[in-house]
Structure 1
């Protein structure tokens, strides 16, 4: 692979890494939002239960108890559903974190490959220069000995 091809691959890998970082940020935000909503619902359910516990102590009708239980069940379902949303959001966040990690590894591998290729090219240049210098010295030595009086 040529150096320009490697550089293009590196730029693409860096772009993919940046996109993966943005996806992780979005997944983290969604997970935090889902958690906050679940916690808000849980808090409301607790408050609701406490309020009704106080109301029961004062006495109430059977129809109000039925309404309380029905609404309490719907609140429980909402909290459970939001718990599932949180789990899915957490899973998306984990997958996004893994994707970012993989993208960072690709970028690092390409950088390492480019550095290795640059080092190899520098060594080849150095060997070429050394050969040229040796050749020049050998010719100069040969010219001196050819023109030297015997």
Structure 2
């Protein structure tokens, strides 16, 4: 059974653990989002390389100005998409880093509350032991006093 004065600390510990668990879940989602963004970036870069390789082959065979213009327009848009995706990967990495820091802070809070509970429990235990020792000492003192009094009662008679 826990001491009633510890109950608020156990409530605080439970809240801290729930907050930490939520941050851990958010961190897992952020890691998945980062991995997905990275995979999409890799896919877009691969597509851009394939597109450029195909068109280099086309240009060696000769193409019209209209087709070359279409290529350059699409290549420009594709480069823009690849750049936007690179920014998305950076933002996802930043979100992961922020959540990692928040998780570490939450874990520190949980550990701090646990340590506080341990210290309070140790303090309560030590107080109880001192109280028990005091009672035992008082009882021993009374019993010794009674024996002493009984011994004097026989001397008087």
Structure 1: tracts of 5 or more residues without a match = none
Q: Equivalent residue of 1:114, what SS?
A: helix
Give the TM-score taking structure 2 as reference length: 0.93
Q: Which runs of 5+ in 2 are unaligned?
A: none
Q: How many residues align?
A: 150
After superposition, what is the alpha-carbon deviation per residue over 1:27-84, rounded to whole angstroms, capped at 9, x for unaligned? 1111111111111111100000000011111111111111111000000000000011
Query: Runs ≥4 in structure 1, deviation > 4 angstroms?
Result: none
Residues 78-89 of structure 1: matches in 2 within 5 Å? 78-89=81-92
Task: Identify which of 66, 71, 78 aligns with 1:68.
Answer: 71
RMSD value over aligned CA atoms?
1.0
1:147 corresponds to 2:150: yes
CA radius of gyration, larger in:
2
So what's the TM-score if we normalise by structure 1?
Answer: 0.98
1:47-66 pair list within 5 angstroms: 47-66=50-69
CA distance in 2 between partners of 1:8 and 1:2 (Å): 11
Distance of 2:112 and 2:52 partners within structure 1: 57
Match of 1:26 among 29, 38, 47: 29
Q: Say whether 1:108 aligns with 2:111.
A: yes
